[in-house]
Structure 1
C-alpha cells in the first residue's frame, strides 16, 4: 500500500516542534520519577504520574473544551492506547529505578526504529530497503547497549526493552487514530486509563508522603506527563510517524544531562557507542524522509 500525500509544511513544522517539547517534558518526568522511586514504591509513583496528569488535564482543558474532553470516536482503540502507555510507564519506571537515565534512554531510542519498522503494517506507510537497513543498524546499536550474555549485562535493561515496544505501539495508535480524535481528549483518556489500572494496586504498597517537596515532585511529574503526552498526540496527528519519530532522539541529551546533574550517573563507553549507532541510524531515517517528502511535493 502506498503512503498518503505529505501534510502541508506548516503542519510538519508544528509536529516537529510538538515532539521536541514533548521530549523535554518526558526528560523531566523521568528524572522526577527516578527521584521519587528512591523513597516511594514504583506503583505509587506511577499512580501519582497519572492522577496528577488527569487533574492537570481537567484544569487546563475542561474550561475550554467542556464535555468534548470526554467524547471519543473510537473508545476501544483509545483504551488499548491508554493500556499500552500504562505498561510502558510501568516497565520504564521499574527499569530506571536501577539503571542510569542515559542507559535507559539509549535503549528507548530504538522506539523510532520500531515505529518505522511497523508503520507499513499498522499505517500503510511505505518503508523500503534503505529504511529497513537503518532499522537493522539501529537494533545492532541497541544490542551494544544491552549486551545480552556479557558479564556487565543488566537484567533490568529488559524492562526498558519491553517499555520501548509498548511505547512504539502507543505512538502508532496515536498516529492511526490521531487525525479523527481531539488531541486533548486523547491525552485525557490515556490518563484516565492509567489511573483506573493503577488505583486498585495502590493500597498494597502505599507510603504517605510527609514532605512538601515530595508532593511538589508528584504534582510536577503529573504536569510534565500531561503536557508531554498532549504534545506527543499533536505531533503524531500532524505528520507521518516516520517523520516525527526520529526527533525522539533528543531525549538522550536530556537524560544524560539530568542523570549527571541529579544522580551523578555517567554511562560507560559501550553505552555511548551503542547510542551513537542508534542515533546515526535515526538521523539517516530522517534524511530519507526529507528526500521522500521533497519527491512527493515535486510530483504535486
Structure 2
C-alpha cells in the first residue's frame, strides 16, 4: 500500500485545503481553515493531507498532544474528509498510509470522533468499518437528540402547553444580526451561575466566525414586551440545523419562551432542513444523561442518533494489508 503520500498541513495549502472541503462528500463549514484556526492558540495543529500522484484525495483535520493525534478536539466531529467519487478500496489504502505515517512520526494513537451520517452528502461509513478491522477501542458514545424533518413526530402536550404560553404572552422570535444581547444578557450569566463555566467560544470568537460564515452561524432571540428572554446560537449546514447554544432567563417556564422558540425553529425557520439537531444531553463522558434535558428535547419529536469516538493504535495499520481478497 504505497500509492499514497501523507504530509502535514501548512499555510501554503490554505486555498487547496478549502477548495477540497468545498467539493467533498462529508465536510461542513467547520473544516474550513478559516473556521479551524479561530482556536489555533489552544491546539497544536497536526492536520494531514493525503495525495495520490500529486492529487489531493483526503484530509484529516487534527491536532497533536504528546504521542496522540486527535481528529480535531476543537471540532464537534471529524475523521477523513473524502471526495465524492472515492471508493472503499481507496479509503482503505489511504487510511493505512495515514496510520503508517503517524507511526513513523512517533505517534502511538489516533483518536477519532466520527461524523454522524446526517451531516454527510453521501454514505460515509468506510472509516467506521476500517476502525473495526483495526481493532480500535470504543472510548465514548454521545446520544444526540435529532428531529427527522421528513418524518416528524407530533409535539408532546408538555411542549404544546409551553408554546401556548408563548402565544398568550405575545412572544416574538427574531433572527438577530447581533450576538451581544443574547450572550451578555442570558448565555454567559446562566452558564456561570449554573455550571461555573464559560461558553466554548468567546463572544469575540463567535462574532468573528459569523463574519466568516454568515450563512452558517446565526442567532435567534425571543422577546417579551421588547426585552430578550431566551435565544439560541445555531450552526447551520446543508442538511442539518444544529443548536450550538441554548438558554433562557428565569421566566422561561412561566413564559414558555424556549418551547415557543423551538417550535418556530423546527416548523418554520428550518423546515427545509433534513434534520434538526439539538445535540447531546450527555454528562460524565457519555455515561450518563441529563434526564430533564433529554425529556425536553424528545418532546419536540427528537430521537436518538449516536456519535462514536474511537482510539486506534497507529502500528495496527498492518492489519489492513490483507483485507481485500
TM (norm. structure 2) is 0.24
Larger helix proportion, structure 1 or 2? 1
TM (norm. structure 1) is 0.25
Structure showing greater Rg:
2
Larger strand proportion, structure 1 or 2? 2
